[in-house]
A and B are shown apart, each in its own frame.
Chain A
Amino acid sequence: MIVTLENVTVTLSGCRVLEEVNLDFREGIFTGIIGPNGAGKTTLLKVILGLVKPDCGKVTVFGAPPAGRGNKRHVIGYLPQRQQFDRRFPVSVLDAVMMGQVPCIGPLRFPTKWHREAARRSLDLVGLDGEIAHRQIGELSGGQQQLVFLARALCPHTRLLLLDEPTAGLDLVAQQRFYTLVRNLQQELKLTVILVTHDLGTVAAHADELVCLNRRVYAHGEPGRIMASPVLGRLFGNNLLTRKEEGASTANGRMVCV
């Protein structure tokens, strides 16, 4: 197992966010985490990253605790929720991707040509050509910026990729393209992917496994089984619009939009 959570409980500002969560994430598997707002999805990722300390329970990432000695942060790529940033922030696309190399470079060391080449390879992987590397990050469209941040998360040592609502704010075409890209990268680079989203239909079509979370784990398994089960109704209420749509075969032909 790449990531294991045993009886993890988290309380933030007096609110119980996660309760006795038990989860295993296997190597090379693309897992989608779904759940309503406030379900603890982002907190779960932060627990795996070691940014939030559980009240109780045990977390291991690559066999080590996520924070402190022996942590394996340098093999984890993370794409946080899309945030507004200063569009005039003075970094080029390549500079932004280079930031993902910081854990590989290490403290008190300076980036070398090898690191710059690795950053360029990451840009190639997400389909951004060489010319764009020298443009200011703020000059890019929202979809292109997400690709740059995905490239930043793909440093050469990355084995685990954590994505937090990566397609929020993108149009439908850009969303589909993003998911397809992540799926292809996961297979090509043999990555373990954990993706948090509200976009049930699309993630069901791309993920190997789904986790239904609402403070507790309601279900964990293959998308087809999860989408057909009544657990979604319990999670999101019954205000679900369902329609048949091609391309969601792993969800037994059902696509669920919230």
Chain B
Amino acid sequence: MAEWFAYDFMQRALVAGVVAGLLCGLVSFFVVLKRLAFVGAGISHSALGGVAIGVLLGVNPILAATAFCTLVAWAIGLVSRKGELYEDTAIGIFFATAMAFGIALLSLAVGYYADLFSFLFGSILSVTQTDLILLVVTGVAVAAFLLLFFKELLFICFDAEAASAAGVPTGLLYYGLLTSLALTVVVTVKILGIVLASALLVMPAATGYELCKNFRGLLAVAAAHGIIAAAAGLWLSYRLNLPSGATIVLCAAALFFAAFVLSPHRRARRRTHLPSA
């Protein structure tokens, strides 16, 4: 067994990274196809507000962040679906407000909150058994939702109006997707941190999008990308003594840019000199 894998905390970190990478890969499929990348970034940043509430109330910050992020996700969905605000405007307002709320609350907390830095930038090496269980349970629940409603969600991503006309409950499923996104963000925050969590919600499927013409291939590439980025990033962070969250995101970005350069879509376009779509 490799030297780095001999430590208990490294084993837990690797399992957490692989499970989170796989989960993010699956969720990113719909984030990219439904164009929810900014929603993901907004939800992950608003997690700070939830963490702050947890700290102040003496509740597990992850549980508090789960409830808070889910509420923020629903609020973004509600305001944008009602057409009262553009979606990106709603996100810009909600996530800045939630972060400001978090910073203000944390300033009220007595003393220095040592874990704040780990929430902001992630600390995969400090993942506990409880964190792992929470990650696996959340992962199974989110994956089950995505699998059971896969055909409906794909229809919504492709043509929401036709899906509605066919009797697909587009509103309910949209909120289900936002909830899945919020849950995934919260369990990923421990690994990548609030600042970087949204990266793995976009890059896996964005990589698949560059390489595949069909959603089945895209889904497979997204899942593989999430796992490879997490495992490779963790190993590199150990070897080079770099922050694990940032190294995982850099690995994910490297995979994306490699796919971008090798993209058959782009190469075909270059060959036929067609303008971009």
Residues of A whose CB lies within 8 Å of any CB of B are: 49, 51, 71, 73-74, 76, 78-80, 83, 85-92, 95-96, 98-100, 102-103, 105, 107-108, 110-111, 136, 138, 149, 152, 162
Contact B209 A102 (CB under 8 A): no
Assembly CA distance A88 to B43 (angstroms)? 27
Residues of B whose CB lies within 8 Å of any CB of A are: 33, 148-149, 151-152, 154-155, 157-159, 161-168, 209, 212-215, 217-218, 265, 277
Known: A102-B151, A107-B152. A95 touches B167 (CB 8 A): no
Given A80-B165, A86-B277, A107-B149, 20 other A-B residues pairs in contact with their CB atoms under 8 A = A51-B165, A73-B166, A78-B162, A80-B159, A89-B33, A89-B157, A90-B209, A90-B214, A90-B218, A92-B214, A95-B214, A96-B158, A99-B154, A102-B152, A102-B155, A102-B166, A103-B167, A108-B148, A111-B151, A149-B162
Residue of B nearest to A136 (CB): B213
A-chain residues with CB within 8 Å of residue B163 when the two chains form the complex: 99, 102
Known: A92-B214, A99-B154. A87 touches B162 (CB 8 A): no
Closest chain-A Cβ to B170's Cβ sits at a distance in Å of 10
Most chain A beta-carbon neighbours within 10 Å: one of B157, B167, B168, B218: B167
Residue of A nearest to B215 (CB): A90
Contact A90 B212 (CB under 8 A): yes
Question: What would 16 A/B residue contacts be, using CB atoms closer than 8 Å?
Answer: A51-B161, A51-B165, A78-B165, A80-B159, A80-B161, A85-B158, A91-B215, A95-B214, A99-B162, A102-B151, A102-B168, A103-B167, A103-B168, A108-B148, A111-B151, A136-B213
Assembly CA distance A86 to B32 (angstroms)? 12
Contact B165 A76 (CB under 8 A): yes
Assembly CA distance A77 to B131 (angstroms)? 48
Residue of B nearest to A79 (CB): B162
Contact A90 B213 (CB under 8 A): yes
Residue of B nearest to A71 (CB): B167
Q: For chain A, what secondary structure do more than half of its interface residues adopt (helix, strand, loop), or is it mixed?
A: mixed
B-chain residues with CB within 8 Å of residue A111 when the two chains form the complex: 151
Contact B212 A152 (CB under 8 A): no
Assembly CA distance A110 to B149 (angstroms)? 9
Assembly CA distance A49 to B165 (angstroms)? 6
Assembly CA distance A252 to B70 (angstroms)? 62
Assembly CA distance A86 to B209 (angstroms)? 12
B-chain residues with CB within 8 Å of residue A51 when the two chains form the complex: 161, 164-165
Contact B158 A73 (CB under 8 A): no
Nearest first, the 4 A-B pairs at minimum CB distance are: A73-B167, A78-B165, A90-B215, A87-B277
Assembly CA distance A99 to B158 (angstroms)? 9
A-chain residues with CB within 8 Å of residue B167 when the two chains form the complex: 71, 73-74, 103
Closest chain-B Cβ to A230's Cβ sits at a distance in Å of 35
**Which of A78, A83, A91, A138 meets B166, CB within 8 Å?**
A78
